[in-house]
A and B are shown apart, each in its own frame.
Chain A
Amino acid sequence: MSAAAPTVRRIDRKPGKLVPVLVVTLAILAIWYAGAYWMNRSLALDVFARQKVVPTTEQLVDATWSMERPLLPAPHQIAVEVWKTTADQKITSKRSLVYHAWVTLSATLAGFVSGTLLGILLAIGIVHVASLEKSLMPWIIASQTIPIVAIAPMIVVVGYNLLNGQLGVSTDASRFIAKAMISTYLSFFPITVGLVKGFRSPEIMHLDLMRTYSASRAQTFWKLRLPAAMPYLFTSMQVAIAISLVGAIVGEMPTGASAGIGARLLAGSYYGQTIQIWSALFAASLLAAILVWMVGLGGTAVVKRMGMAR
């Protein structure tokens, strides 16, 4: 609600979300600390037993929250790790989380942009060519039920071999393109499905009005269908960007990549570096939240600019 809204309406305004969200977040943190104590307890007790020390409760709690390789690291350990790998490192360093996040983010964005373009083209084709719709649409819907991420390692390896081995593209570029291909593949489905719905969303009355103006198909498309589809486009873009991030992360696992959030997760799981896994996860979550939020912001801005905001 804007600031200029009449004060009378504030009475039936719903109570804010900030306080409950904060309380729930604090509760989650509390449960997390308790869980860290409970899960790491036996590990910590082992250490004390080896030192032949009988720990006080305070010592034990302290030990469970500051272990080198805990089963569940305490939140502050993750925060410290994230701080160490972002602020204390140069951005270009291989130990910097920012560097790894950027490697993943660049592939995500490349895949997202090309996937969005592909999805838009497919949707336009489906809306305008009847035989394309009848034959393609069931497959697009069916393909939603197929575990696409499962194909990811194959696309990565095949694409990588093709580019690096056969076409002589450099190692890094091949890896980048292979990852972007997965992101493209994952992100164009939601865009196509959402946009087809959006292009069909104008009411018959509006389409008839365009016909009374003797508007051509192209005019109807640009002036009615496309604007009407905008909210659908941005909603599906939010889904698409989240899923293309997942694609890029999964794509970093099989080719022996040494950079990127996925590679970081895999390396962490090989060497049992729990804190590294959690900080990579944290980076991935932050990235996902920011990306989805930015697409949502862009959508709101466009829809508002078009005067469609409700």
Chain B
Amino acid sequence: MTSRGHLQPWIALIGLFAMVALPLDSADPTLTLPRAGVLGWSVLVATALAIVAAIRAEQSGIAGVLLAIAAHLGAFVALHLLPTVAGHPGSGYLALVLTSWLLAWALVSELSAVPRPKGFDGLLLRLLVPFLFGLWLLILWEIVVVVLKVPSVLIPPPSAIGARIATSIPTLAADFRQTFLKAVIAGYAIGCGTGFLVAIIVDRIPFLQRGLLPIGNLVSALPIVGIAPIMVMWFGFDWPSKAAVVVVSTFFPMLVNTVTGLAAAQPMSRDLMRTYAANYWQTLFKLRLPEAMPFIFNALKINSTLALIAAIVAEFFGTPIVGMGFRISTEVGRMNIDMVWAEIAVAALAGSVFYGVVALIERAATFWHPSFRT
């Protein structure tokens, strides 16, 4: 097939020869993949099959399955051998890692070329590619860190971070409760709520609209996290001061977006409302707020990220001895970098889930919008 002109399988072929001939461990030249037992042989066979399939196969389905098996078997063997070769990898080991990675890349190219089926299968396929990317990021991270013996003070391997998460769940849960469930949620609700209400007032009074909006635009570009020390002074060390920072940083995006959204209704629709003799509130609730929904949800999504950042950074300025920002700054000081990464993993997960929930609500609330009507 000429259309599938991928280069990766051909390079992988060179890698296959290197894997057969070169030693895995530079300290022990006799250890090669063919002598590493059943696992070694199965990797070689799977890789060879996958390369042939990727170059020759008419159907990308078979090639994809073979590539997936070969790449992940190779990765498994590489991780399996990792303790043996740590610090002194042979050229054969490098060939193994690089070849497996090339096969994974070829797999991603293969998957990208597949036409997307609709419905659930399409969703799975759409999630598969980024999942593979993330998985390989972790695999390569682990291999590079362990093989090069990077001190864990600099970057710990993912396995150490995973172990740390597993052993310190109570601490992580307490930090999560303090920062996310108290400061972020409260601040987010208050900030978005007041931003929304002020936007409606501003929209009612054109003078304010002209006077307040430029200032609002200016303020949303400012480094608002800087007010954290002041808020700590005003509201004390506990979570209300963090919530206050969150309120200020979420208020302006909400204000600006809602005012823009309220202006989005077509003049034709407004005229129609007028012919129905609809009063201000009826027009607001039945026409202009629904039209403003995409803008409001845009602000809600931006704010979901901003709120978490604001709360964590605000904790750098002083907290009771609990909280994600507190934990990050103290564990950095004590060189417990794996704990910092564990905390970051929790924050990333919380941020993504928060964003995802807002996005889902948006889908349900603005199902009529063109960007969701497929």
Contacts and interface: CB of A to CB of B under 8 A. Distances in A.
Given A147-B312, A284-B223, A136 B207 contact: no
A19 B214 CA distance: 12
A269 B317 contact: yes
Contacts of B287: none
Given A23-B211, A138-B129, A147 B351 contact: yes
Given A154-B340, A161-B154, A21 B210 contact: yes
Overall SS of chain A's interface:
helix
A149 interface: yes
A149 B355 contact: no
Contacts of A162: 154
A91 B223 CA distance: 24
Given A150-B309, A151-B344, A17 B111 contact: no
B132 interface: yes
A254 interface: yes
A55 B309 CA distance: 45
B105 interface: yes
A298 interface: no
B347 A134 contact: no
Contact of A281 (B154, B218, B227, B316): B227
Contacts of B232: 269
The listed residue with most B CB atoms (<10 A of its CB), out of A272, A280, A288, is A288
Most buried by B among A134, A151, A261, A278: A134
B20 interface: no
B316 A139 contact: no
A202 interface: no
B171 interface: no
Contacts of A292: 221
Given A138-B130, A254-B332, A147 B222 contact: no
Interface stretch (B67-75, B291-299, B323-331): B323-331
B328 A153 contact: yes
A147 B304 CA distance: 10
A136 B222 contact: no
User: Contact residue range for chain B?
Assistant: 35 or more
B10 interface: no
Interface string A103-145: 0000000000000000000000000001101111011001011
Contact of B225 (A135, A161, A250, A269): A250
B328 A154 contact: yes
A134 B110 CA distance: 11
Contacts of B332: 153-154, 157, 254
A44 interface: no
B352 A145 contact: yes
Contacts of B153: 158, 161
Nearest to A151: B344
A250 to B, nearest CB: 6
B313 A250 contact: yes
Contact of B215 (A21, A71, A249): A21
A17 to B, nearest CB: 5
B316 A17 contact: no
Contact of B229 (A15, A71, A266): A266
Nearest to B218: A289
A153 B316 contact: yes
Nearest to A264: B226
A249 B155 CA distance: 23
A265 B111 CA distance: 50
A190 B130 CA distance: 19
A261 B112 CA distance: 46
A47 B227 CA distance: 27
A181 interface: no
B154 A158 contact: yes
Interface centre among A149, A249, A280 (most CB of B within 10 A): A149
Q: Chain A, interface size: which category?
A: 35 or more
A130 B313 CA distance: 37
Interface string B195-236: 000000000000110111011001001110111011011100
B305 interface: yes
A208 to B, nearest CB: 21
B226 A281 contact: yes
A180 interface: no
A228 interface: no
Given A142-B352, A285-B223, A150 B328 contact: yes
Interface in B132-150: 132-134
A131 B105 CA distance: 8
A210 B116 CA distance: 28
Contacts of B319: none
A3 interface: no
A92 interface: no
A288 B347 contact: no
A131 B354 contact: no
Interface string A4-27: 000000000001010111111100
A130 to B, nearest CB: 5
B109 interface: yes
Contacts of B305: 144-147
16 contacts: A20-B211, A24-B208, A24-B215, A133-B112, A135-B112, A144-B305, A145-B352, A147-B305, A147-B312, A150-B313, A154-B328, A154-B332, A158-B155, A162-B154, A269-B229, A269-B233
Interface of A: 15, 17, 19-25, 28, 39, 71, 130-131, 133-136, 138-139, 142, 144-151, 153-154, 157-158, 161-162, 238, 242, 245-246, 249-250, 253-254, 261, 265-266, 268-269, 272, 274, 277-278, 280-281, 284-285, 288-289, 292
Closest 4 CB pairs between A and B?
A20-B211, A269-B229, A24-B211, A138-B130
